[in-house]
Amino acid sequence: MSVQVSTVKRLYAKSLNQCAMPKCTAPIIISGISVGEICHIKARRKKGPRYDSELSLKEKDSYSNLLLLCRTCHKLIDSDQLTYTPELLSEIKSIHETNGDCEITPEVARDAVLLLNIKSRTKKTSANSNGNGIAIAVGGNVNAPININSGRDSNKSQSKYPTNSIGADANMAGYVDYLFGLAVDYWKAVDAMNPGRLGKKIKTKFRLKTRTRYYIPVQRFNELVEFMIEELLAISPVGKRHARNGTRLCRSFEEWRSGLM
């Protein structure tokens, strides 16, 4: 048993080609390229996120147990299962699909098949890749073509960071860079708090030793963001000025991804 084509067509039509997560505007399909993923609300396999042993295989792959997410949001919900419970995800799915289109047009049907093909190719690749893989995360409006080359030179294109690390996700890594850039700017009037010192604070907190912040697991992304905002931005001279003036320290992750101020 696997996810049926008819189910994916309905999912895609109701999604309006947008990630189901609130405030996320990332597309699912861009110019004939699938950049989103089919997510199980309750995992299909044992030890998977939110696994429910009482569900049959048919129920696990049913429409009510599936939603479409961008790859970054998929990682976020799977890394924070205490927050993103099956009940919350079902509610998110329901709200997102309220205004979706029930009509399965030829274009919708074609794009839906792309999602299934990606899922199928991912399984085949993971079985023969010897641990090598490529992950792409897209947020906001992206119109540039995406090219992936594989072959004998696979080691050259391999990500330098572990698959489940912040550095392997373009959106997470980009937002962390954004926060760190703000921290450098907020502390520039204090000579002792140079970029190296700020970076060391992160390394000490997360026990990175010789590794960089990009090696921090996705599961600790929210913890890293909270630490950077509270321990690097808020206590800086500029951060304290923001507090006095009642202005915001920075953009949220969702705002940064969508380009909002």
DSSP 151-220: STTHHHHS-SS-TTBGGG-HHHHHHHHHHHHHHHHHTTT-TTS-HHHHHHHHHHHTT-TTS-GGGSBGGG
Considering only CA atoms, which of 108, 99, 41 is closest in space to residue 68?
Answer: 41
Query: Which residues constitute the domain of residue 247?
Result: 166-258
Assign 163 a pLDDT band (cuts: 50, 70, 90).
Answer: confident
By three-state DSSP, how is residue 69 classified? strand
* One domain, residues 172 and 113: no
**160 found inside a domain:** no
- Packing angle, helices 237-245 and 170-186, rounded to 10: 90
Q: Is the pLDDT reported for residue 10 higher than 60?
A: yes
Asked whether residue 219 is assigned to any structural domain, the reply reads yes
Query: pLDDT class for 150, splitting at 50, 70, 90?
Result: very low
End of a domain among 78, 109, 128? 128
Residue 68 pLDDT exceeds 90: yes
Determine if residue 47 is left, alpha or beta; phi over 0 gives left, psi from -120 to 50 gives alpha, anything else beta: left
Contact 240, 191 (CB under 8 A): no
70 in Cβ contact with 28 (< 8 Å): yes
Last residue of a domain, one of 106, 128, 150: 128
Q: Are 10 and 115 found together in one domain?
A: yes
Q: Does residue 188 sit within a domain?
A: yes
- At residue 70, φ and ψ (nearest 5 deg) are -70, 165
Could you read off the pLDDT of 102-133 as tens digits, one per residue?
A: 778 888 888 888 888 755 544 443 334 444 44
Instruction: Give the domain-ending residue among 109, 128, 147.
Output: 128
60 in any annotated domain:
yes
Q: Does residue 149 form part of some domain?
A: no
Q: Is residue 47 part of a domain?
A: yes
Residue 156 lies in a domain: no
> Sorting pLDDT into bands at 50, 70 and 90, what band is 242?
very high
